[in-house]
Structure 1
Amino acid sequence: MCYHDGGFYTESITWDTEYNPRSDITLYVRGKGAAFRICYVAKMLADSPPVLEQLGKSYQILHKDDPDPRYGETVEHLRRPFEELMTHLAPNPPPEYLHGYLYPPWFILEAVAESGHVQPHFNTALSRQEFVRPGDYVDSKFLQPHLSPLLDSKLNTYSSRQVQVLDHTSRLVPSRVLVDGTVYFFKPWVSGRVHGYYELQSYRKILAAAEASPPLLTDARICRLHGLIIDEDDDVLQHYHLDSDEKDYPGTRLVGLLLTYIENKGTLVDLAPWSDCKNEDRSRWSGQICESVKCLHAAGVAWGDAKPENVLVDKEGNAYLIDFGGSFTPGWVDEDKRETVEGDWQGVQRINDWLVKWSNEPVHRPERAVQER
């Protein structure tokens, strides 16, 4: 569980998994173009019983197997004393280009106790050696077979220094970006993610089909690959000098994909169940999904994870298929039919049945949900 507030996002929290009322707690926070590790070390707070007692109470809430309704409040309570210091340490102005988001300065902060209260303390900045680089090496034996055909194609490649960030997700991950005057959706490349390899294969087939027979995918409303973001290793993280004993890591790294940016109203899940959604819309979406899947199959591509969450509705009310990373979702596609043409049609039929259900039994949208849509 992660929490975002005030320009900072708590990516993860660690503590002793075996119950220990004197456990240390560490928060990993991103925000304002920087990354932070906030350390609550019980031994350092031992001279202040009130602070140590509060740390123990926080641990009891975080450690529970069942989610505690106070979890989010506890995370915020632990992070809040450090926000002023984090704002001071963060770059000013925040980074405008993707490079600054991918390779932020990292700072280690720690809690000290003064007059019975937590006071933030700057410990150090992480060296380059300790920084976890994003992406995968292009010449990786796992990535190379899937990536090479794309690199050999007419697909454009860019460095993260060329990608301007226009917007980001609630997790502060860049999402809407600008490259050469065109807006794209940025998808980070996650190292070792098997579904990512499947996705590259799918996009390669889509590109090859579009080039060989342009009319084949003309009617397909799908998310497409438009470019790759590849960084040189010696261009990574210029905040610190290389340590003398650090080995060079020659080569380049795939750090992200540039995909079709779909200005949208939401997914089918966000729109279809509600009474303010027209039946003619549901019927149109069903037909558009079917037509796009036909086009994909003609290009030799299986959608893979067919489900309402993987259908975006654009501002004009048209349904677009997204997420070609394969796999399956129980209830929509059976496991033995995953990543197959048969599985796609099973998913399409179940999506259609689901849309029909909401056509017959729509749910009244709460007033607040209408306002936030």
Structure 2
Amino acid sequence: MAVAEDRSRWEKNLSFCTQRVDMEDGHRLDFTIIINGKRFIITVLPAPCPADPITPLISRYDKLFLDNDEELQKAQDEIEDIIYDAGWCKFAPLAPGIERGPSTPPMSLYSALNPETFYFRLVVDGANADVIQEYPSRPLFGPDYVAINITVNLPRYSVRDITVIEKLMGTGYIAKVSVNGQDMCCKVLVPNQVKAVQREYACLKKIADSQHADSISAPRLIGFVVDDDADEGACIGILEEYIPHVMTLGRCLKNINTEIVAAERRRKWAEQVRRNIALLHGIGVVWGDGKPENVLIHSETDDCYLVDFGGSWTDGWVDAELRETEAGDEQALTRILDFLGGYLVWLANSVQSTKVKLGL
């Protein structure tokens, strides 16, 4: 009973998230799991016992790695459940629950990107599983971010001087941060999102250098994040304007019946999205992942801002074959306008007509 109470108490303020899974030679898996701000790397190997449940799960994971994301996730979830049940009592004292509140001390971006790390190995003996802590002489993995070569003359800020305010939703590491008292949005180049951040940087730079920089409602590029510990202060991320908002366009209309949101307000948003896309195309920039969730409603002006220039596409909004093309943006626009209210679809008849009016 006491053990169950201890587990329940720890889980009350638990943050548990698998950051990545590395596979080696098809038989070894390394789970990187963030628990209450601490990083745990748990190695999973086939067990010698023929009846163990881990070996067939590793085999399933290996076979599904490139073929079936849904079944792969199921195999990963099963392994995670075994790790959690076997290790929670050892993880708990190393990563106690954090009660968030006004007294919670701020965390630097350096600490967020370089959390205290513990290494364990999963051991299975028949139906019994345990985790054994290991003490490698050197880190088994490098940092979860990479550097890019950028020579543009913009301010550079050290990871140690940037304070994390809030981790934001999205793929990779995206956070609302504070730099010298100013709120900004930070995007760090994690290994699987290098191209996305590079594309975002290229798009925002092209907007900033264009004649329509003041007319396009998109985040302004502010500067770069540098790692002082790396050679010559390597750039590992970008800083851009933080758009104050309560909701995205998508959540606004999902949480509030479209009949309740005034038609004139929706018409304004529709025209703003259309105008911004036309301006982007006029300077050779493709939005890339157009959808209502990537349109922020500014909390002070009630205006639409287009965000997320990392590329890719989302089913239902842009067809895969049109990804990162002007045609894909126009398809997304048509569907966004329909989402705002079917009668507004006339606005999407031609982005080209807006370009003509604007002299693009």
Q: In the TM superposition, what whole-angstrom CA distance separates every residue of 1:75-134 from its partner, at most 9, and x where no partner exists?
A: 234224323433544599998111112223433202346997433321114625742462
8 A contact 1:105–1:125 mirrored in 2: no
Tell me the residue number matched to 1:269: 250
Shift of 1:160: 0.5
Helix, strand or coil: the match of 1:167? strand
Stretch moving more, 52-61 or 259-268: 52-61
Tell me the residue number matched to 1:282: 266
Question: What is the root-mean-square deviation of aligned Cα atoms in Å?
Answer: 4.1
The answer as to 2:166 corresponding to 1:167 is: yes
Q: 1:231 to 1:43 in 2, by over 3 A?
A: same
Tell me the residue number matched to 1:6: 14
8 A contact 1:107–1:125 mirrored in 2: no
Shift of 1:167: 1.6
The answer as to 2:34 corresponding to 1:35 is: no
Shift of 1:230: 1.4
Shift of 1:222: 1.5
The answer as to 2:285 corresponding to 1:301 is: yes
Whole-Å Cα distance in 2 between the matches of residues 61 and 315 of structure 1?
47
The answer as to 2:88 corresponding to 1:83 is: yes
8 A contact 1:61–1:70 mirrored in 2: yes
Helix, strand or coil: the match of 1:284? helix
Tell me the residue number matched to 2:235: 254
8 A contact 2:311–2:324 mirrored in 1: yes
The answer as to 2:227 corresponding to 1:231 is: yes
Shift of 1:188: 1.4
The answer as to 2:126 corresponding to 1:122 is: no
Whole-Å Cα distance in 2 between the matches of residues 336 and 119 of structure 1?
47
Helix, strand or coil: the match of 1:272? helix
Report how many residues are paired. 315
Whole-Å Cα distance in 2 between the matches of residues 335 and 345 of structure 1?
14
| Identity within the alignment, % | 25
The answer as to 2:323 corresponding to 1:312 is: no
Helix, strand or coil: the match of 1:118? strand
TM-score (norm 1): 0.67
Whole-Å Cα distance in 2 between the matches of residues 173 and 137 of structure 1?
15
TM-score (norm 2): 0.69
Q: 1:346 to 1:359 in 2, by over 3 A?
A: closer
8 A contact 2:47–2:123 mirrored in 1: no
Tell me the residue number matched to 1:348: 333
Shift of 1:219: 4.3
Tell me the residue number matched to 1:199: 200
Helix, strand or coil: the match of 2:167? coil
Helix, strand or coil: the match of 1:136? coil
8 A contact 2:47–2:124 mirrored in 1: no
Shift of 1:311: 1.5
8 A contact 1:272–1:282 mirrored in 2: no
Shift of 1:164: 0.6
Q: 1:27 to 1:354 in 2, by over 3 A?
A: same
Q: 1:261 to 1:334 in 2, by over 3 A?
A: same
Q: 1:179 to 1:77 in 2, by over 3 A?
A: same
Q: In the TM superposition, what whole-angstrom CA distance separates every residue of 1:126-153 from its partner, at most 9, and x where no partner exists?
A: 6257424622242xxxxxxxx32xx32x
**Structure 1: runs of 5 or more not aligned:** 139-146, 237-249, 361-373
8 A contact 1:106–1:125 mirrored in 2: no
Q: In the TM superposition, what whole-angstrom CA distance separates every residue of 1:11-62 from its partner, at most 9, and x where no partner exists?
A: 23467997xxxx6654221234432221233447x4xx8xx63435765886
Q: 1:122 to 1:158 in 2, by over 3 A?
A: same
Helix, strand or coil: the match of 2:20? strand
8 A contact 2:188–2:237 mirrored in 1: yes
8 A contact 1:217–1:296 mirrored in 2: no
Helix, strand or coil: the match of 2:216? coil
Q: 1:32 to 1:291 in 2, by over 3 A?
A: same
Q: 1:273 to 1:88 in 2, by over 3 A?
A: closer
Q: In the TM superposition, what whole-angstrom CA distance separates every residue of 1:61-81 from its partner, at most 9, and x where no partner exists?
A: 867755387964652342243
Whole-Å Cα distance in 2 between the matches of residues 97 and 335 of structure 1?
38
**Structure 2: runs of 5 or more not aligned:** 1-12, 99-103, 346-360
The amino acid that maps onto 1:324 is: F
Q: 1:109 to 1:335 in 2, by over 3 A?
A: closer
Whole-Å Cα distance in 2 between the matches of residues 80 and 172 of structure 1?
27
Q: 1:113 to 1:271 in 2, by over 3 A?
A: same
